[in-house]
Structure 1
């Protein structure tokens, strides 16, 4: 409930990476799950892989920034507001204690946090780029924060950690250092062991692609009686599919089914495979029986029920 209250100013979007390729390209999605936080159209942080704790901390940080901005906007828009009053509530003018608390949350937003210029996929200085490459080469999973997105964080973190430059790498909330130190650690041996973090798991090999004809043969033989329809038996999505489902059920037939709307490749391929241009299609023992009209004719002639029951 506290999280819900804190996040009321945020907007959450869930995207299937393969369904919206332009979004995947924009955010350079190479693996899922991936959580990206944006502000003003710019990425300000991300968490790659399944890491609920890091995601929660990153979202809380975003909610805190949004709440601060909302407070500033409200104060500035009120009747009689003065520039001085507005400046006092601007995001960059939060109290030192508030900023310190926010920085503490940010450096603990993930097991490995990188504060850099730009993002992990789009570094905006050569030192940040070098740091990202070192971590990726060592298969170290990390979350990042773009210091260009928040001037208060950019200036405050220098004083907070007594470290004047960027990038800065933190592990378990503790400053490790900049690119020179991390580069030196990587040169001495296994970086994951030195940082005390597990290596990022290697991506699973892509499944071998099964030829379409083999898929279709397997599908028509999945059960002795197979029905290819639009929708499913409990929720047919066309009148012909609904009628044929009713006919089979009235004859007490047990049958498997496949929703052709769920797979365009199967939907088109099965037409050529069986030389039958329409749906639904009924198969028994892997052989095409026909569509609704033929099944109705066979039923009227008393041929269908014996075939269904074998």
Structure 2
């Protein structure tokens, strides 16, 4: 009897808990913006924003993405004939995600994971070196995109200060959820999901897919299977924490102070997120 590897399941539950903590602000505050502006004022709100930004935001979705790629190896198992099974599962995820973001949750990622899963099909039988190169290129490209976006917004704020470049807060869904019917919320939810998905792919899609590729590559070495090399894992955890935590703390402090200021800068917000996203894999490794 084949025994199931429990470590990926435990880590997946841990990752989902972290993702939930990040998403609560979009469920309870602003559907589009979460905890920004007035929601960060005061010691309690500021502390909560700092904790979410430094410990949770951007880290657990990478861990979840890593596990998605890692788990694909359990389905493929080195057999080309299993690709059809994987494709069917991804198509099912796409369908489930479409229902999810239409009727329930505007922050759905199941649909995009299904799409990315289909793209992952082209990498199943690639060499480890190819996976490593693609992962690094995608990570660097995503980092460059976020950095350039922050710099562009900074230049616009500096030379065209009369314009507002802070992301517009879409309150339509919030208003419908308060006073409208279930069916009336569907168009507003779809509009918000499309906008969020485009921005998410643009800023974080490359990092997520890089995590897919890393998970796929490490699954070939049974990285999470027993017996686990505790010494190696402890070493990775120490490196991840010692390098990642200081960057995350500084980025979170900058983000909170900017949000609490009288005239918050969207450029500083994006650049703080950039710093956090760049260091996110380090804390994800620690987790």
Superposition TM-score, scaled by structure 1 size: 0.23
Superposition TM-score, scaled by structure 2 size: 0.24
Is the strand fraction higher in 1 or 2? 1
Is the helix fraction higher in 1 or 2? 2
